[in-house]
Chain A
Amino acid sequence: MRELLELLEKDHTLTVAQLAVMLDKPQEEIAALIKQYETDKTIVKYQTIVNWEKAGADRVTAIIEVRITPQREVGFDAIAERIYRFPEVRSLYLMSGAYDLLVIVEAKTLKDAAQFVSTKLSTIEGVIGTTTHFMLKQYKEAGVILEDEEEDRRLVVSP
């Protein structure tokens, strides 16, 4: 059910009771649907978006373009797996265009990130080259604007 998934994607703290009312469905049905989505991994995970800068934590994010030679039988997937298993890798995408994989790496310092690229990533067999970009500022994450200055400017009572 598209609407249920959209609601949970935006706010997974909504209770089954609230969801049932809002979607005009019995609670049992909603509970069963959620269970099913969780089991078949349609719902992969419930996560929280943190503004780490605000939390005062040191973090750097590197966006790395990776060019690789695809391998017989497994294509890009085998190399992709060797890369995404590293906990430093936050996201990984197969791309069309000038490079093949887009890797987003999170590390404590610039040095750590650079180290990861030079010692772990570029040494993987099949990796032909990498281009690393460091992220300077995060404005929006997963559809959410981090420092949204738009506020409710309405009068408290109006006709």
Chain B
Amino acid sequence: MTTWADRVSPTVKAIPPSGIRRFFDIVAETKGVVSLGVGEPDFVTPWHIRESCVYGLQQGYTAYTSNYGLLELREEIVKNCVASYGVTYDPRKEALVTVGVSEALDLAMRAILSPGDEVLVPEPCYVSYKACVALAGGVPVTVPTKMADCFRVTVAQLEELVTPRTKALLIGYPNNPTGAIMSKAELEAIAAFALKHDLIVISDEIYASLTYDGTHTCFAALPGMRDRTILLNGFSKAYAMTGWRIGYALSNADFIGAMTKIHQYTMLCAPITAQVAAIEALRHGQCNMLRMVEEYNRRRRLMVDGFKTIGLDCFEPKGAFYIFPSIKQTGLSSLAFAEELLKAEKVALVPGDAFGESGEGFVRCSYASSTANLTEALTRINRFVKKYI
């Protein structure tokens, strides 16, 4: 007899369960945990942004918006993009407000992929990338990046894996989980590769504002890349607005039109409350945001120094709010390290293999946590690691 489980779509069944989810269940049962496992800011959304939403509700902002999102918000998004990177879009046809970068990513994949199309995905990477490609009928082709290359993807690696079926490249820098960034010159090389093979580039730049070394290069701003790129960004990280569920996509009118077609039938529009707040964030949120960035940067240095003292090999992250030390010296697997550390010292972090096979041998520690918590966690990790090295 067929069970209900048998009737679940094979595409969905083939997607491996999230490594983070599995680990979360273990952590949730432990009390008194110091967590470095959180992938979202420890700041609450700045008050002026929250207050603007309350005011919006009082004024009756409770209805659907245009499928594209409030025009006022799209105009602010484009203005911000012009000011930051010098690349412009038509707010009426080339900008779409989404329910987080998460939705934008899904829409982008569904809008461009036909069954069997291959997408190059550098790894370790955000947990949704490969799943979104697969759910859209595509085939994710992982490109393992190495600590020796500062977790940057190189053209040589891409050339080895590109095939006539390759349709797109999906990159995310600054990177979750490694904290790696790519320089302008390195991205230009990737741009030349995309042009040579006529690939679409989906660039998830949600951590763009959290860049600590130099300035962020927007992929769409590189010569000739604007129309070839689907640029994804949002409010979750830079403005500490994860729970509001709001992000956006910018690209040529055909891609944005196609994504909007899916969005209008599956989502209708992003929540108006969050859209109102996002306008406030873009108009008046710069100062608060820079303060948060300064704070992350100080904690980043604390973590780099901490892991150096502990004696674990660690690449210095240059963006986002993660540090990705290698735990190979301990002889433990990522999962065993995370589980044993949790048991022995009650520190939660995320095993690197949750971000793809090439993350094995590493663990992701988020420094979106108070200095006191970070210092305590480093002390405990140090005590734990000393048992192995």
Chain A residues close to B by CB (< 8 Å): 3, 7, 11, 14, 18, 21-24, 150, 152, 154-159
Where chain A touches its partner, the secondary structure class is loop
User: Please, which residues of chain A bring their CB within 8 A of the CB of B33?
Assistant: 156
Q: A21-B305, A22-B302, A23-B298 are in contact. Are A159 and B18 (CB under 8 A)?
A: yes
CB-based contact A158/B39 at 8 Å: yes
CB-based contact A157/B299 at 8 Å: no
B71 within 8 A of A: no
CB-based contact A157/B38 at 8 Å: yes
Chain B residues close to A by CB (< 8 Å): 18, 20, 23-24, 27-28, 33, 35, 37-40, 42, 44, 126-128, 176, 294, 298-299, 301-302, 305, 348, 350, 354, 371, 375
Selected from A22, A24, A154, A155, the residue in CB contact (under 8 A) with B42 is A154
CB-based contact B299/A159 at 8 Å: no
Q: A3-B294, A18-B371, A152-B42 are in contact. Are A157 and B35 (CB under 8 A)?
A: yes
CB-based contact A150/B35 at 8 Å: no
Q: A22-B298, A22-B301 are in contact. Are A159 and B126 (CB under 8 A)?
A: yes
CB-based contact A159/B301 at 8 Å: no
CB-based contact B27/A157 at 8 Å: yes
CB-based contact A157/B371 at 8 Å: no
CB-based contact B298/A159 at 8 Å: no
User: Please, which residues of chain A bring their CB within 8 A of the CB of B126?
Assistant: 159
Q: Which residue of B lies closest to A154 (CB)?
A: B38
User: Please, which residues of chain A bring their CB within 8 A of the CB of B44?
Assistant: 150
CB-based contact B298/A157 at 8 Å: no
User: Please, which residues of chain B bring their CB within 8 A of the CB of A152?
Assistant: 42
User: Please, which residues of chain A bring their CB within 8 A of the CB of B27?
Assistant: 156-157
- In the assembly, what is the distance between CA of A150 and CA of B50, in Å? 13
CB-based contact B38/A155 at 8 Å: yes
- In the assembly, what is the distance between CA of A158 and CA of B375, in Å? 21
CB-based contact A156/B348 at 8 Å: yes
CB-based contact A159/B348 at 8 Å: no
Q: A18-B375, A23-B298 are in contact. Are A158 and B20 (CB under 8 A)?
A: yes
Q: Which residue of A lies closest to B177 (CB)?
A: A159
- In the assembly, what is the distance between CA of A11 and CA of B375, in Å? 14
- In the assembly, what is the distance between CA of A152 and CA of B370, in Å? 11
Selected from A11, A24, A150, the residue in CB contact (under 8 A) with B301 is A24
Give the 5 A-B CB pairs with smallest separation, nearest first.
Answer: A157-B37, A22-B298, A157-B24, A21-B305, A156-B35
Closest beta carbon of chain A to B148's beta carbon, Å: 24
User: Please, which residues of chain A bring their CB within 8 A of the CB of B354?
Assistant: 159
- In the assembly, what is the distance between CA of A152 and CA of B305, in Å? 26
CB-based contact A159/B39 at 8 Å: yes
Q: List 13 A-B contacts (CB under 8 A).
A: A3-B294, A11-B371, A14-B371, A18-B375, A21-B302, A21-B305, A22-B298, A150-B44, A152-B42, A156-B33, A157-B348, A159-B20, A159-B126
- In the assembly, what is the distance between CA of A156 and CA of B354, in Å? 16
- In the assembly, what is the distance between CA of A8 and CA of B127, in Å? 38
- In the assembly, what is the distance between CA of A70 and CA of B129, in Å? 71
- In the assembly, what is the distance between CA of A3 and CA of B27, in Å? 36
Q: Which residue of A lies closest to B44 (CB)?
A: A150
Q: A18-B371, A18-B375, A152-B42 are in contact. Are A157 and B350 (CB under 8 A)?
A: yes
User: Please, which residues of chain A bring their CB within 8 A of the CB of B28?
Assistant: 156
Closest beta carbon of chain B to A92's beta carbon, Å: 30
User: Please, which residues of chain B bring their CB within 8 A of the CB of A18?
Assistant: 302, 371, 375
User: Please, which residues of chain B bring their CB within 8 A of the CB of A157?
Assistant: 20, 23-24, 27, 35, 37-38, 348, 350
- In the assembly, what is the distance between CA of A159 and CA of B32, in Å? 21
- In the assembly, what is the distance between CA of A107 and CA of B298, in Å? 41
CB-based contact A156/B37 at 8 Å: yes
Closest beta carbon of chain B to A27's beta carbon, Å: 12
